[in-house]
Amino acid sequence: MAEAVHDIEIRNLYKIFGPNGAAHVADIRAGMTKDELKARHDHVLGLDDITMTIPAGRIQVVMGLSGSGKSTLIRHLNRLIDPTAGQVIFDGRDVVAMGPRELQAFRREKTAMVFQKFGLFPHRTVLENTAYGLRVRGLPAREIDERARRWIHRVGLEGFEGSYPNQLSGGMQQRVGLARALTNDPEILLMDEAFSALDPLIRTDMQSVLLDIQAELGKTIVFITHDLDEALRLGDRIAILRDGRIIQQGSGEQIVLRPADDYISSFVRDIRRGHVITVRTIMRPGRRADSGVMLPPGTLLEEAARAMTRVDVSRADVVDAQGAHLGAITLRKCVAEMIAPDDDDDEDASAVTAA
């Protein structure tokens, strides 16, 4: 039987940095701003009433500019930072209320963290770094060695087991950090700007590695980034923070199509919409194209346009995994939505026929 996986429920989480943070929660609830809190009481608002569900087995991205609270938030999930108020519920237990021994077991057995600065031990080899968490847990030496070597191979570092961190590139060091986290087989993987220090090509490569591993393992991953392109590529769900508050959360497609305010609009203004919007969003349900091109509903618009152009047709059918017909799209609509929203479907209606 497969091991149960659990959502993470964050409920009314506040963090106020300062010697008397708890005394000012009521002020924040009453509407005091971050700037006012600093000016009047010399305290800093880190998180302001965060409530969200992080779905089990999916990638939850938390993004925002510097100072938005995203790194503060992820450190509450394994309680590297104690909240001023609120709850973090996992498997029926409030992480905030855990005693020292229960919290230690939770950190060792249920979570693992990958840091931006790699966090490797410079005096330990790749194999020793990867195996470290298992040694702390006291597992048998043979099991430790087998599991560590398996994950070193899985992240593409076979042959480097005896190397030290200073002998590796930045991308290779981050692969070691990822292998170390996964060797411990955590249910929750916390990644705090894990790829931000990498060069663009290496960063893209690491994103691909993560997506491949996630397709295989289905971990609950919380990924912190300030880069919207990275968020859209990785995230099943995205939460955008500003001044410690969640401004908007949803799928990447929802955020790009329906930004909550001008702040979110400024984030998504230059995004390539064809890399985010799927044919499910623009298809005409029940219509048929009968062009010979059939696309899954999750196909991105750029891929759909390329598929139709390749065989010189102007429309395509949308079908589910079992081949059942769902609707139809046109090349014109794909191109229009990649450029800008277009609510006028009159011309599209003549290109497809009713089922």
CB 332: neighbour CB atoms within 10 A?
15
Which DSSP string do the residues of 239-275 spell out, in sequence order? EEEETTEEEEEE-HHHHHHS-SSHHHHHHHTT--GGG
Instruction: Give yes or no for residue 353 having a pLDDT over 70.
Output: no
Query: For residue 119, which amino acid is it?
Result: G
Q: What is the pLDDT of residues 151-197, one digit of tens each?
A: 999 988 999 999 999 999 888 998 999 999 999 889 999 999 988 88
Q: In this model, does residue 4 exceed pLDDT 60?
A: no
Least confident of 109-118, 124-133, 294-303: 109-118
Average pLDDT estimate for 333-340: 87
Q: How confident is the model at residue 2 (pLDDT cuts 50, 70, 90)?
A: very low
Domain ranges of the chain: 55-272, 274-354
Question: What pLDDT score was predicted for residue 348?
Answer: 56
Q: What span, in angstroms and rounded, lies between the C-alpha atoms of 18 and 73? A: 17
Cα 184 versus chain centre, distance: 20
Say which CATH topology domain 274-354 has: CBS domain Like (3.90.1280)
Residue 346: pLDDT over 60:
no
pLDDT of residue 133: 87
Q: DSSP 3-state assignment of 6?
A: coil
- At CA 347, angle to CA 341 and CA 349, rounded to 5? 100
Is 341's pLDDT higher than 70? no
For the chain, what is the mean pLDDT? 90
Angle CA 86–87–90, to nearest 5? 165
pLDDT per position as a tens digit, 301-323: 999 999 999 999 999 999 998 98
In this predicted structure, what is the pLDDT of residue 24?
96
Is residue 56 within 8 Å of 7, Cβ to Cβ? yes
Nearest 10 degrees: Cα torsion 320, 324, 329, 335: 20
Asked if residues 165 and 176 have their Cβ atoms less than 8 Å apart, the reply is yes
Say yes or no to pLDDT of 202 above 90: no
Q: Could you tell me which CATH number the domain at 55-272 has?
A: 3.40.50.300
Which pLDDT tens digit goes with each residue over 36-54? 999 999 999 999 999 999 9
pLDDT beyond 70 at 138 = yes
Give mean pLDDT, residues 296-300.
Answer: 93
Nearest to 290 by CA among 320, 322, 321, 325: 325
Does residue 269 carry a pLDDT above 70? yes
The pLDDT of residue 352: 62
Given pLDDT bands bounded at 50, 70 and 90, which one contains residue 6?
confident
CA distance 99 to 102: 5
pLDDT at residue 1 greater than cutoff 50:
no
pTM above 0.95, yes or no: no
Q: Give the distance, in angstroms, between the CA of residue 277 and the centroid of all CA atoms in the same chain.
A: 17
Q: Tell me, what's the pLDDT at 89?
A: 97
- State the CB neighbour count (10 A cutoff) for residue 220: 25
